[in-house]
């Protein structure tokens, strides 16, 4: 029987399921059943059914016979996703260097500092990493760019493991985060964009190595 969670009255069924995928409660290949989801989230089956249909339309779920399962990304899809991330997030960093308020830069610096306490917990660090990147998106002060990056990050949830779990990657990633923040603080858009793109390129290399070493 599925564990029932306390429903958030401010979130609909779609957001609840999406959060569960993003947090790893449901991982690529896991089967999603209407009745179990309804019980877990304390909502009726109708909004659950509608949410599942929406997630399938967005390719976050796929069919396995008559069942819906959480989709997974193949090698080509992962490469395509990182290519889009690099361009969009590089632009976000460049715009943040132009438009971020001093308070926004301060928040980014404090995030990097606080995240050092999470180095022994890759999953918590991964969640903090998403918050950090989202804060840069917001600092771009471009709502249309933020919307597109939100779509990209939904697909990122289909990666079962975080690259931050690789040996020594967490500490290096935080150093890269610090470099991005300092470029934004210096209002150097080109440097900020390059720092963020380089950061994602390194993360992609880590994922490729993990994929190559994974048992077949």
What is the largest distance, in Å, between two alpha-carbon atoms of the chain? 54
Residue 61 lies in a domain: yes
120 and 173 inside one domain: yes
Containing structural domain, residue 180: 75-213
* pLDDT per residue rounded down to tens, the chain (216 residues): 444 445 444 468 998 998 888 877 888 889 999 999 999 999 999 999 999 999 999 889 999 888 899 998 888 989 999 999 999 999 999 999 999 999 999 999 999 999 999 999 988 998 899 999 999 999 999 999 999 999 898 888 887 677 888 888 999 999 999 999 999 999 999 999 999 999 999 999 998 888 777 666
84 and 177 inside one domain: yes
Residue 19 lies in a domain: yes
CATH number at residue 174: 1.20.120.530
Identify the helix (H) or strand (E) that includes residue 37.
helix 34-41
Residue 130 lies in a domain: yes
60 and 159 inside one domain: no
Q: Which residues contact 172 (CB under 8 A, 6 or more apart)?
A: 202
């Amino acid at each position: 029987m599925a564990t029932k969670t306390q429903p958030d009255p401010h979130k609909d069924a779609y957001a609840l399921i999406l959060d569960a995928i993003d947090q790893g409660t449901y991982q690529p290949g896991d089967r999603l059943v209407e009745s179990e989801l309804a019980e877990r989230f304390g909502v009726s089956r109708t909004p659950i059914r509608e949410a599942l249909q929406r997630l399938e339309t967005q390719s976050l779920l796929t069919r396995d016979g008559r069942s819906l399962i959480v989709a997974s990304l193949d090698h080509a899809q992962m490469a395509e996703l990182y290519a889009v991330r690099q361009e969009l997030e590089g632009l976000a960093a460049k715009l943040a260097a132009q438009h971020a308020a001093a308070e926004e830069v301060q928040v980014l610096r404090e995030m990097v500092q606080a995240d050092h306490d999470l180095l022994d917990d890759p999953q918590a660090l991964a969640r903090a990493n998403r918050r950090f990147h989202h804060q840069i998106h917001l600092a771009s002060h471009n709502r249309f760019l933020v919307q597109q990056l939100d779509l990209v990050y939904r697909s990122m949830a289909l990666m079962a493991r975080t690259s931050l779990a690789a040996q020594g990657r967490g500490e290096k990633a935080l150093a890269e985060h610090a470099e991005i923040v300092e470029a934004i603080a210096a209002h150097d858009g080109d440097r900020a964009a390059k720092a963020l793109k380089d950061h994602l390129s390194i993360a992609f290399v880590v994922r490729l190595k993990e994929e190559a070493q994974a048992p077949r």
